[in-house]
Amino acid sequence: MRTKTALIHGGKTTDPLTGAVTPPIYQTSTYKQDGIGNLREGYEYSRTANPTRTALETLIADIEGGASGFAFGSGMAAISTILMLMKSGDHVIVGSDVYGGTYRVFNRVFQSLGLEATFVDTADTQAVREALQPNTKMIYVETPTNPLLNVTDMRLIRAIADEADVLFVVDNTFMTPYFQNPIELGADYVLHSATKYLGGHSDVVAGLVVARTEELGERLAFLQNSVGAVLGPQDSFLVVRGIKTLAVRMEAIEANALALVDYLTKHEAVSRVLHPSVGSEEAKRVHLSQARGFGGMIAFDVGSAEAAELVVAKTKYFTLAESLGAVESLISVPARMTHASIPAERRLELGITDGLVRISVGLEDVQDLIEDLEQALATVATIPN
Ligand SMILES: *Cc1c(COP(=O)(O)O)cnc(C)c1O
């Protein structure tokens, strides 16, 4: 089954009981047993499993090409549950410009439980190799990263993970399974904030994980049930519904994004534009060797915090908001919003400058989006030097 077909026909999304073509919302916490331990269809208690959640979990496993899928109450719940595979004293190598919340949960939550983390630019595979320690147990990567869109060669990381015998985890939120399938490239676990493109409509907070093998899946199933940060049936239904239109949304979002990149690179108030389509030749080569598209996230620098604030205040169709991946275009200033939890000094080291503006391109008419940026960027010229 090809990806576009799998989005519609993957998983067990048809209800076996009634034939309903969309998964019914099984709003139940428990299930009648026909005698002690004699379960119908294996359902016992909804923290452990719920049929609506199963529909989503089997669907995401199919479209990512893994053995089993898991749905959580948020992307952070998914990430935290994966980190519980680690023990106190273990060491994890983490991408240096991962999502701000991921950085925070490593630094402020898991570190105090005895997990060690080293943050490195995973695009530099030599740096990853050098960061290995005898107690390293996991390499955790985002590619392309947020908001700098640095690209990591996943095949090379797989080779390092094999040599060191460690787990390889990829956050695939930005590319989505429509454009990129990290398990094919060797990831052990791939995860998503389904709040973003998979849900796609800014109406649900959810997280997903897919395990490469049954054995890796069993380890995570134990934690999902033990820790209990599961997704409810209503939200599972919404994410299944979102996934069905993922292909058409991603195609349209990317077409809009490419037009906006073209517009922004020519604008005199913009000093740099970040998008996988305009990266260095090497970054582009690596990206295209592992992904089928460039996606809809763009960052551009307007020179100062003041200018960035003005731009995001003036746009009408780009809504000033956290999050990304929705039908409506969103705009934000990473240094003051999504990445505010990263210390200022560290942000600058990474290149998350105060003038950096991030947009998540939506499905509006691209001419309206260009005109909206045009009038907002015009105000930057009015700032006195
Ligand atoms: C939003 C996001 C997360 C966190 O997901 P939530 O659903 O907000 O908990 C993790 N990784 C990336 C790349 C994200 O964009």
Kindly report, residue by residue over 123-149, the tens digit of the pLDDT.
Answer: 999 999 999 999 999 999 999 997 788
**Which of 142-156, 184-198, 201-215, 244-258 is the least confident region?**
142-156
Is the Cβ–Cβ distance between 333 and 297 less than 8 Å? no
**C-alpha 254 – ligand 1 centre gap (Å):** 20
384 pLDDT above the threshold of 80? no
195 lines ligand 1 (CB under 6 A): yes
Is the Cβ–Cβ distance between 138 and 161 less than 8 Å? no
Lookup: tokens for 144: 């392309």
Q: Collapse the DSSP code of 161 into the 3-class scheme (helix H, G, I; strand E, B; otherwise coil) and give the result.
A: helix
**C-alpha 170 – ligand 1 centre gap (Å):** 12
383 pLDDT above the threshold of 90? no
> Within a 13 Å sphere around the CA of 201, how many CA atoms are in the beta-carbon half?
12
Instruction: Report the relative pairing of strands 272-274 and 136-142 from DSSP bridges.
Output: unpaired
For ligand 1, atom 5, the nearest C-alpha belongs to: 75
Tell me whether residue 170 is exposed, middle or buried, using C-beta atoms within 10 angstroms of its C-beta: 0 to 12, 13 to 18, 19 or more. Answer: buried
Is the Cβ–Cβ distance between 289 and 362 less than 8 Å? no
**C-alpha 76 – ligand 1 centre gap (Å):** 6
Lookup: tokens for 305: 């915090």
Please report the pLDDT score of residue 18 as a whole number: 93
User: Residues 300-357: pLDDT tens digits?
Assistant: 999 999 999 999 999 999 999 989 999 999 999 999 998 887 788 988 888 899 999 9
C-alpha distance from residue 278 to each of 124, 150, 189, 243, 291 (Å): 19, 11, 29, 28, 15
Numbered ranges of CATH 3.90.1150.10 in the chain: 247-382
Mean pLDDT of 208-222: 98
Q: What is the CATH number of domain 3-244?
A: 3.40.640.10
279 pLDDT above the threshold of 90? no
385 pLDDT above the threshold of 70? no
Please report the pLDDT score of residue 35 as a whole number: 94
C-alpha angle 261-374-331 in degrees, rounded to nearest 5: 65
HEC secondary structure over 348-364:
HHHCCCCCEEEEECCCC
Q: Is 247-382 a domain of CATH 3.20.20.300?
A: no
Q: Collapse the DSSP code of 144 into the 3-class scheme (helix H, G, I; strand E, B; otherwise coil) and give the result.
A: coil
pTM: 0.96
- Rounded-to-integer distance, Cα 161 and Cα 28, Å: 41
Positions annotated as catalytic residues are: 47, 99, 171, 196
Amino acid at residue number 145: T
281 pLDDT above the threshold of 70? yes
Please report the pLDDT score of residue 1 as a whole number: 87
Q: Name the β-bridge partners of 94.
A: 119, 140
186 lines ligand 1 (CB under 6 A): no
Lookup: tokens for 245: 């239109």
Query: What number does the ligand 1 atom closest to the CA of 206 have?
Result: 7
Numbered ranges of CATH 3.40.640.10 in the chain: 3-244
360 lines ligand 1 (CB under 6 A): no
- What integer best gives the mean pLDDT of the chain? 95
For ligand 1, atom 4, the nearest C-alpha belongs to: 75
Q: Which helix (H) or strand (E) holds 137?
A: strand 136-142
| More confident: 246 or 383 | 246
193 lines ligand 1 (CB under 6 A): yes
| Radius of gyration, alpha carbons of the chain | 21
Please report the pLDDT score of residue 148 as a whole number: 84
Mean pLDDT of 104-126: 96
Mean pLDDT of 15-21: 91
The percent of residues in the chain predicted with pLDDT above 90, rounded, is 89
Amino acid at residue number 187: A
Q: What angle in degrees, to the nearest 10, is found between the helix axes of 246-265 and 366-378?
A: 40
Ordered strands of the 189-193 beta sheet:
68-72, 207-211, 189-193, 167-171, 136-142, 91-95, 116-120
Q: Which residues contact 46 (CB under 8 A, 6 or more apart)?
A: 26, 28, 29, 30, 53, 230, 233
DSSP string over 234-269: HHHHHHHHHHHTHHHHHHHHHHHHHHHHHHHHT-TT
Question: In the block, which residue shows the tokens 């995570």?
Answer: 220
**Which of 37-46, 73-82, 220-229, 344-353 is the least confident region?**
344-353
Please report the pLDDT score of residue 252 as a whole number: 98
